[in-house]
Amino acid sequence: MLSVTIGGRAPHYGERGVNERLDDLLWPIQHGMLFYPGIQVLPPFAVYQSDRLTEAEWPAVAEAYRRRITGLFSDPPIAYRTQNGGHYDGQQVLKPGLGAGESGTRIHLVRPGDPKEVLEGLDRTTAATREMETCSDS
Is 134 a residue whose pLDDT tops 90? no
The residues, ordered by sequence, that sit 6+ positions from 71 with a Cβ below 8 Å of its Cβ are: 42
Residue 101 pLDDT exceeds 80: yes
Question: For 92-98, what is the mean pLDDT?
Answer: 94
Q: How far apart are CA 111 and CA 49, in angstroms?
A: 31
What string of DSSP letters covers the chain? --EEEESS-GGGGSTT-TT--HHHHHHIIIIIIIITTT---PPPEEEETGGG--TTTHHHHHHHHHHHHHTTTTSPPP-BPPTTSSSB-TTS-BPTTTTTT--GGGGGB--TTPPP-EETTEE-HHHHHHHHHHHHH-
pLDDT-wise least confident of 24-28, 67-71, 130-134: 130-134
For the entire predicted model, the pTM comes to 0.80
Q: What is the reported pLDDT for 121?
A: 62
Compare 43 and 120 and report the one with higher pLDDT.
43
What's the rounded mean pLDDT across residues 110-117?
91
Rounded CA-CA distance 102/109 in Å is: 9
The mean pLDDT value for 23-42 works out to 96
- Dihedral of CA atoms 119, 122, 126, 127 in degrees, nearest 10, equals -90
pLDDT score for 26: 97
pLDDT in tens, 55-74: 999 999 999 999 999 999 99
Report the C-alpha gap between 101 and 21 in whole angstroms: 16
Dmax (CA) for the chain in angstroms is: 54
Q: Which domains does the chain have, with CATH numbers?
A: 1-76 (3.40.50.360), 79-138 (no CATH)
